[in-house]
A and B are shown apart, each in its own frame.
Chain A
Amino acid sequence: MMRPWLLRAQQATGTRRLSYDHTPRIQPCGIRTLTTAHSLHHPQQQRPVHAAPPPTRNLVKGRWEPIIGLEIHAQIKSNTKLFSDGQTSFNAPTNTHVTLIDAAYPGTLPQLSQECVDLAVKTSLALDAHVYPVSSFDRKHYFYPDLPQGYQITQHYEPLAQNGKIELSPLDGLDYHLTVGIEQLQLEQDTGKSLHDVYPGLTLLDFNRAGTGLMEIVTKPDLRSSKEAGILVKKLQALLRAINSSDGNMDEGSMRCDVNVSVHEVGKAYGERSELKNLNSIKSVVDAIDAEIARQIEAYESNEPVTQETRGFDVSTGTTFRIRSKESAPDYRYMPEPDLPRLVLDLATIRALKAQLPELPDVQRERIMSQYDLSLIETRTLMGEDGMVEYFESVVSKGPSAKSVITWTIHELLGRLNTRGIKFSPKVVKAPQLESLINCVDRGVISAKVGKTILNLMIEGDLRDAEAIVEEKGWKQMENHDELDKLCEDMMSQYQDKVKAVQKGNVGVLGFFVGQIMKQSKGRANPVVVNQILRTKMGLPEVSESEGSGQSSSSDQGQKSKKKKK
């Protein structure tokens, strides 16, 4: 609809421009129109409809139902802060990333960051939430030395997005399917940091973090156990990392979690809720919820009142403690932010951001499992490391079978990196290197054992392809039948009694010979070929490849042929 008098200011802050609605904001909470963003739904991201979880579940002592909701603050992974061009930082020297706006100097005004808005919109879309075409900012007031303005700019009345959801399923470790509603996602500012008692009796202030963008993500009270809550947090973390909108590290503070917990008897009115604050790991979230559920039930059972309050969690004792009661809760005196006109996001902008979304974890998990026939554990391991899915897929795309690539990637490579304490990165052993290695093993040029030695070299810094290493070291597998024939004959004459045992039917002893020959050849003998030669020489029937010795090389070849049939 063309409305010539509704002029939208555009402010240069990046490649695209932010749009503002300069019409005066009369009421802070008007009636909002939902965007048709949900009609943008990507078919690929349609999730199957599952049966609803049991209406009452996870009852404690058979009759107490916990009601749990989460408020998660995720730091936006942007280059600059939400309302200034100050750089975001982590562990930088104190007070080195503070602009005049961050320090709330008189006369300064907030300038909204395009980058932060984009990342928050993407996150909202990934949470399947409605992104509003118009949202606005408000001030939340309180006095604290690490809050420079004396208020936090947030989105109290008209948040960026509402009505999203996260699906939890058995694939996430739950025994049932559960849809957890996302109440809303809003943009707001982070505070600075107060460092108490670095010098006894003094509080030092670090404003590096002041003004950094946060996404406050509030779930509906759809959770019924600490386990569900823990899984939800993990899932949200993975989602934020996939979009690259937040690091989501609870231990580094780039993700923080507050929990609302209440308990009631099934069929009776809901109980008073307490808010658990400052939980800084998923384990604390889980433990604090359990402790709080137990505390509330105990209070009810001993007829003590449970009141609305804010509580903390003591990790050392595993119990929660009161921070403040409802009566002493601060009045934040919310007020529409007069320095920022309403933010306008047109459908084209939202669509463009939707198109930029990467494959989301649930969709990726499903695709990888079916496309490569991987187990849930293998898939999880792949997705658990930054960039490993792309790494895996880039190796597979060059030809090797998915089975051998997954073995070499997660068992061999990741296992070795873990023992060495190195974090996975596609740069340690480059994808083409691993591909050449897998090719050499699969083609029988080298044995799996030699392959592992070469992988070690690569991890230690050898940047050459496997072929070049094999060539230089002379590790090419013995394919020459004459040579292998001789080795086999020598061995058979050396252990004649064992030959007899084999011929009597004790086929297992064959493994002994293969082992000895491998040892003799320093691993260069092809165990499959050796096995065949020995069988022929001892007069046993030949076996098909797939029933082979269980060595990776042979089984991989089996996979390879299977794949070809596809």
Chain B
Amino acid sequence: MLSSASFIRPSSIRTRPLRRHAARSLVTSIFSKTSTPTAEAEGCLKNIAKYNQYTNAFVDLTQPDHIRSQAAEATRRWESEAAKSAVDGAVMGYKMNFCTSDLRTTCSSAMLENFKAPYTATAIELLEKAGVIMGGKTNMDEFGMGSHNVYSHAGPARNPFKIIDRSPDETKELEARSAGGSSGGSAAAVASNMCFAALGSDTGGSVRLPASYCGVVGFKPSYGRISRWGLVAYASSLDTVGTLTKTVDDAQTIYDIMAKEDPKDSTCLTERQRKAIADTINPIDLTKFSDQEVKTKPLLGVRVGIPQEFNVAELAPATKDLWRRGIQALKDAGAVVIPVSLPNTKLAVGAYFTLATAEASSNLQRYDGIRYGHQSDKNDEKDALYTHTRMEGFGKEVKRRILLGTYVLTSGSFDNFFLRAQKIRQMVRNDFDRVFSRRNAITGSCGNLVEDFENDNSTATRVHALLTPVAVSTAPKLKDVIGDQIDPVDAFLDDIFTIPASLAGIPSMSVPFGTCTKDGFPMGLQVMSQYGDEEMVFKVAKVIEEKGKGMCSEKQGEQ
């Protein structure tokens, strides 16, 4: 039992509370002085009218008049300096697997095609309290299972990149690209400016991969940071509420609103735990640097690791190049970049699909058509009711994963598959704990012996953050990922870089970092840090974001 593993707390570690809230003014409006919620909402509505048909990002939309009246109220609040929050009046999209009492919650499944939830997810309740307006519900892979948003009852979402500001005729010529999945609709909606930001859910990379493909910021916080109440479960021990935004700052703003204790989700961190985690995070020691250096180099004192195991054979040369440029950007910002090893990375994908499908098969048991959702007409006897209802209600990929998961959990294969995957998951966690200079705040683990930890830290072989690619390539063409020509096992490759962070429950962000020199499509880099250390992710991601902006325009100019 892990929790009984005892270790001695080294006396040399001094903990100090991190006062991060003091650093940022609470009500920094997302609206520039020249804009208002009303004007922004009108922009969103215009873009929805323009791009939604092509992208298929929003499946259900709030009535425009309803958006307008809410935006008008928010505008008045801003004018009278009574705004609810920095994002009061902003329009957001919510992935179809978040329960909202308005609009349907279909999870892109025929099973829930007409399902309207009688309640609202905690994360969305918190956003609504902050004044956020729901623009609509976004497309996704059925129940979150997929990497290209093609397994959707509402049809695939399309990558909006390159269609912006082109005429409909021109877009017809384009070969549609994947928006990524499973939060493809959310990423496409944000990328085409149909909303200020969107909520996604990330189980194995479902926010980060589409963010990379669509050129937006995709953020998956630590497991347990944001309540899962109202998020329809795919794999409960991996599911996290994530955000898709245009900037790292926006991600941070929305995250701060949603990262709250929630008694409705027992796996959600309590305020006490949050404080305790903040206490274990030591500030970076900047004493040996001059003030001048500190001002110009935001990452002074920060060590970033480059996991060697992520340099896989399948990595496209352009992606490798991108990664190299990212490393240089961090070095330029004053960070020390060192190679690190996460030896169990290659085992992660197998473990992930074993555990995720097992939990999915369990979580999807409830869809029997009896209390809600699709019910087959062919219900002459008990078994037939289940058989037909589930046969008709679930799509191909969902059925495949249910079958796989059911097999994993059968008594004959449980030890061999489920337990082994659990062990690998722990090995992956240990890998991370071994390279991070901070302890895992929830388990206290430093990956190996405390003495080694002390030594490592003094010789500075441990790091604050990791930098990796998000995907092996840019967004593939939809025709290459639709249909039977794609081997489902090959499809798992899409997630190899995002899965380790999901298994370990650590925060991870996909930040746009320019476009591919070959096809001109955007690519992202992934920043990860120790459990509970979201601040470090934001800090490093902002540097990448800043550098990426310049590169993006430079490359586009070349074309």
Contacts and interface: CB of A to CB of B under 8 A. Distances in A.
Given A30-B1, A148-B371, A335-B359, A141 B224 contact: no
A339 B269 CA distance: 13
B508 to A, nearest CB: 17
Interface in A1-28: 1, 3-7, 9-13, 20-28
Contacts of A106: 99, 105, 107, 112, 115, 117, 232-233, 366, 372
Interface centre among A11, A23, A106, A150 (most CB of B within 10 A): A106
A228 to B, nearest CB: 33
A444 B371 CA distance: 70
A451 interface: no
Contact of A143 (B9, B121, B264, B386): B386
B442 to A, nearest CB: 6
B386 to A, nearest CB: 5
A200 to B, nearest CB: 15
Interface string A93-119: 000000010011111111110000000
Contact of A100 (B2, B119, B365): B119
Nearest to B412: A331
Contacts of B367: 150
B272 A148 contact: no
Nearest to B277: A7
A149 interface: yes
Nearest to A139: B362
A553 B518 CA distance: 111
B418 interface: yes
Contact of A107 (B233, B266, B364, B370): B233
Nearest to B355: A338
Range, interface on chain B: 35 or more
Nearest to B443: A23
Given A21-B3, A22-B269, A100-B118, A7 B276 contact: yes
B229 A109 contact: yes
Contacts of B445: 5
B444 interface: yes
A28 B420 CA distance: 12
A107 B230 contact: yes
Contact of B3 (A23, A103, A112): A23
A108 B1 contact: no
A92 interface: no
A339 B236 contact: yes
Interface in A23-51: 23-28, 30-33
Interface in B527-555: none
A10 B270 contact: yes
Interface string A286-315: 000000000000000000000000000000
Contacts of B411: 331, 333-334
A11 B422 CA distance: 27
B228 A109 contact: yes
Interface in B405-419: 406, 409-411, 414, 418-419
B276 A145 contact: no
Interface string B1-15: 111101001000000
A205 B369 CA distance: 13
Interface in A320-343: 331, 333-335, 338-342
Contacts of A32: 1
Contacts of A107: 97-99, 105, 117, 119, 121, 229-233
B117 A9 contact: no
A151 interface: yes
Chain B contact residues, majority secondary structure: loop
A26 B269 contact: no
A5 B444 contact: yes
B280 interface: yes
B439 interface: yes
Contact of A26 (B273, B371, B425): B425
A405 interface: no
A54 to B, nearest CB: 39
Contacts of A143: 365, 368, 386
B66 interface: no
Nearest to B8: A3
A5 B368 contact: no
A396 to B, nearest CB: 48
Nearest to A26: B426
A382 interface: no
Contacts of B372: 103, 105-106
B524 to A, nearest CB: 28
Interface string B220-232: 0000100011111
Contact of B2 (A4, A23, A139): A23
Contacts of A10: 270, 272
A232 interface: no
A27 B419 contact: yes
A22 B267 contact: yes
Contacts of A223: none
B163 to A, nearest CB: 33
B359 A338 contact: yes
B105 A110 contact: no
Contact of B1 (A9, A31, A104): A31
A134 interface: yes
Contacts of B263: 11-13, 111
B228 A335 contact: no
A149 B365 contact: yes
B362 A105 contact: no
Given A23-B2, A100-B119, A334-B414, A111 B264 contact: yes
Contact of A20 (B228, B266, B277, B368): B266
Interface centre among A1, A26, A107, A150 (most CB of B within 10 A): A107
Contact of A7 (B237, B382, B419, B442): B442
A5 B441 contact: yes
B366 A150 contact: yes
Contacts of A26: 2, 422-423, 425-426
Interface string A139-174: 101010100111100000000000000000000000
Nearest to B105: A106
B137 interface: no
Given A27-B422, A109-B264, A9 B414 contact: no
B270 A9 contact: yes
A139 B359 CA distance: 10
Given A31-B1, A111-B264, A145 B382 contact: yes
Contacts of B442: 5, 7, 22-24
Interface string A333-356: 111001111100000000000000
B434 interface: no
Contact of B237 (A203, A338, A342): A338
A406 B320 CA distance: 92
7 contacts: A7-B272, A109-B229, A145-B370, A150-B362, A150-B367, A151-B362, A333-B410
Interface of B: 1-4, 6, 9, 97-99, 105, 107, 112, 115, 117-119, 121, 224, 228-233, 235-237, 263-267, 269-270, 272-273, 276-277, 280, 358-359, 361-362, 364-368, 370-372, 382, 385-386, 406, 409-411, 414, 418-419, 422-423, 425-426, 429, 439-445, 505
- The 8 A-B residue pairs whose C-beta atoms are closest, nearest first, are A150-B365, A5-B444, A30-B1, A333-B409, A338-B236, A338-B237, A106-B232, A107-B99
Given A105-B372, A109-B228, 16 more contacts: A4-B9, A6-B3, A6-B443, A12-B263, A24-B425, A24-B505, A26-B422, A28-B419, A106-B99, A107-B99, A111-B266, A143-B365, A151-B365, A331-B411, A333-B414, A339-B236
